[in-house]
A = this chain, B = another copy of it.
Amino acid sequence: MSTKPETRLSRAIREALLVDHHVHGALKADVSQAEFETLITESDRPIPTWMSQFDTQVGFAIRRWCAPVLGLAEHANAADYMRARLELGASEVNRRLLTGSGIGHFLVETGYRGDEILDPHNMSWASARPVNEVVRLETVAESLAASGVSAHAFPDAYVEELSRATAHAVGVKSIIAYRYGFNFDPNRPSHDEVVAATETWLQGVADGAAAKVEDPVLLRFVLWAGVDRGLPIQLHTGYGDPDLRLDRCDPLLLTPWIKLIEPKGVDIMLLHCYPYHRQAGYLAQVFPHVYFDIGLGVNYTGVQSETLIAESLELAPFSKILFSSDAWGPAELHFLGAALWRQGMTKVLQRWVDSGDWSESDAVRVVHMIASENANRVYKLQGAR
């Protein structure tokens, strides 16, 4: 393995305190290897016996980057890794990986399987870093459904409940990508449409269905309520689990809606975007209120994330790109999000500096913009701390 001499640029990247603008909690409890493997893939299917999820880019990256944090040699095998993980215990593993990540501020989205992972308070405790909350729009609706709200009261009740739920939040999140896709009618649905869709939905819940919001009218209603709330809106785009139709998660399909809400003055944060990150870069160039990150894709492409990072630095102004890990569960994903970003940025930017294409000062400025300055500005984090 070659070790490169440290430069002003590589030191700046190594020391940058990152704002992870879209992340979830770390696991509360110890997990077996079988459970762990289900948490390092976006597949929700049982893992076939003839394969291991460690034989993936993310699996190799965990063994290379996280093994030393747990006291093992780089590339320790999966069994040794899992043994060390259990011996240290969940909270020590979380502490080491979260504090070792160099993430300085977590914006935690709390809407998914919250009982298995650390809540924002405990994430802050485990990482010794400030945490702010991002509220999932659909989850607020789903918890209202459980409260016995009537269909007629729902629209106003949702707005009120969203206001309450986001009182201390720095952003909201939509998963319309998962639940429907971006080929939705971009216009705000009428009050009557919303009430009618709510009636059908609540009747289903009364009949025993899960309270999952899937009706496009309701998804659009909560999205527009998010616009009215005025906080930055995060949208899952691109790659995710098999629930979504990936071709309907191309952020370009959002263009009509992006134009429609432009006068509202809210910022749109396109999350992940893989494999449509070049398309996201275009949107971030031409629309002042559009930003993006390549979070999830960086973790799951491991060493090849260097290429993704380079491709994310094409059309978008550097003031429109953010860092995220999109980690959920194993703190390895929080750690890796940062480690792979640092490694990829170092390789890509150092190459551009070495060839004389970028000055080192410019490269360092860009690092700080993406690492934290853009997020601090958009989410107004200095005030929020």
Which residues of A come within 8 Å of B, CB atoms?
1-2, 41-48, 50-51, 53, 55-57, 60-61, 64, 74-75, 239, 241-242, 245-247, 250, 252-253, 255-256, 259, 274-275, 278-279, 282, 285-288, 297, 300-304, 307, 310-311, 313-320, 352, 354-359, 361-362, 365-366, 369, 377
In the complex, A45→B320 CA distance in Å? 15
What is the distance, in angstroms, from A76's C-beta to the closest C-beta of chain B? Answer: 10
Bound Cα distance A281, B4 (Å): 32
A315 touches B301 (CB 8 A): yes
Is A278 within 8 A of B279, CB to CB? no
Pairs A–B under 8 Å by Cβ, sample size 16: A1-B356, A2-B355, A2-B356, A42-B286, A55-B365, A64-B357, A64-B358, A75-B359, A245-B252, A246-B279, A246-B282, A247-B255, A300-B314, A302-B357, A303-B357, A304-B311
Leading 4 A-B pairs by shortest Cβ distance: A1-B356, A275-B278, A303-B357, A75-B359
B residues in contact with A241, CB < 8 Å: 286
Give CA–CA (A369, B1) in the complex, Å: 24
Number of copies: 3
Known: A60-B358, A239-B315, A275-B278. A252 touches B246 (CB 8 A): yes
User: Considering only CB atoms, which chain B residue lies closest to A182 in the complex?
Assistant: B247
A268 CB → nearest B CB, Å: 14
Closest to A248 in B: B252
Please indicate the chain B residues that have their CB under 8 angstroms from the CB of A55 in the complex: 317-319, 365-366, 369
Given contacts A64-B357, A74-B359, A275-B278, 16 further A-B contacts (CB under 8 A): A1-B355, A2-B355, A47-B288, A55-B317, A55-B319, A56-B285, A56-B316, A57-B314, A60-B357, A239-B315, A245-B252, A246-B255, A303-B355, A304-B310, A304-B311, A304-B314
Across-interface contacts of A61 in B (CB, < 8 A): 357
Chain B residues positioned under 8 Å from A44 (CB to CB): 286
Residue picked from A1, A57, A245, A274, most chain B C-beta under 10 Å: A57
Chain B hits for A320, CB < 8 A: 51
CA distance A239 to B285 in the complex (A): 11
Residue on B with the closest CB to A258?
Answer: B242
With both chains docked as a complex, state the minimum distance between the C-beta of A240 and any C-beta of chain B, in angstroms.
9
Chain B residues positioned under 8 Å from A50 (CB to CB)? 319, 377
Is B314 in contact with A301, judged by CB distance below 8 angstroms? yes
CB of A227 to closest CB in B, whole Å: 18
